[in-house]
Amino acid sequence: MTEPEGAGRTVLVTGAAGGLGRSFAVGFAGRGYRVAVADLDVAGAEETARLVEKHGTAAWSGRIDVTDPDSVAETAAAVAAFGDGRIDVVVNNAAIYATVTRSPLEEIDPGEWDRVMAVNLKGPWLVVRACSPHLPDGGRVVNLSSATVFSGSENWLHYVASKGGVIALTRVMAKELGRRSITVNAIAPGFTLTEASYGLMENAAQYGVDRGALRRSSTPEDVVGAALFLAGPDSAFMTGQTLVVDGGRQFI
């Protein structure tokens, strides 16, 4: 019998207490990866870990504050110990999204700007910095950007800027870590039906459907395949790239 793709490999997914992060964790478990689930929401992370274990693979869960270098370093050390000294794949999913206030650029609160940048942009850097010593040659990093970077959503400057920064960060990381044959790529999902998205508007299930080549809403499962591809053997010579997963609402 052929071993599953992720056998013997460990993936860390941040922001995995629910939504897209939980779907990533479960998707990787289905491929046989050992899955480390990290989030500020400890109870949610533990629930995700239980879902992972139902796939017959090992799970670890713990608290992480991606804006705090000490918290990130502690998490990286714990996950490396869970993974027998290695963290094979890092999925930087933790972000502020639904709670970001939509405001014209003249009215954005500077404190909120700083908080969005700290979580959405500084966070992925801190996580990769802490995990780098534990990433083996051939390791993978997957950063989460957003398709809104390419459409330039109005009244959301700080969120869009933070996700645009993730693409830039991905490209520089790809060059620096490429010396160790580590690939770094990004996924830019379109509007996806998570718990957070449903909380944003009453008609979330229909939002933007008429603008897509595929006339339906995106679910978290639609995005998971891109992460599995970027973590797997078929993308070994692909790095510094951004995959847009939005059902063809825009072509880049």
Name, in order, each residue with C-beta under 8 angstroms of 214's C-beta and a sequence gap of 6 or more. Answer: 247, 248
d(CA 98, CA 191): 12
A 10 A CB-CB count for 31 gives 19
- Does 207 qualify as catalytic in the annotation? no
Q: What is the DSSP letter of 218?
A: B
d(CA 49, CA 38): 10
Distances (CA, A) of 179 to 104, 130, 136, 210: 42, 18, 12, 44
Q: Is residue 31 a contact partner of residue 6, using CB atoms and an 8 Å limit?
A: yes
Catalytic residue among 33, 97, 159, 198: 159
Closest to 18 measured CA to CA, from 161, 168, 195: 195
Q: Decide: helix, strand or coil at residue 23.
A: helix
Q: Could you tell me where the DSSP H helices lie in 83-219?
A: 110-117, 123-131, 148-151, 157-177, 195-200
d(CA 193, CA 88): 28
Q: Which long-range contacts (CB under 8 A, 24 or more apart) does 108-115 make?
A: 108/157, 108/158, 112/158, 113/158
| Residues that are catalytic | 159
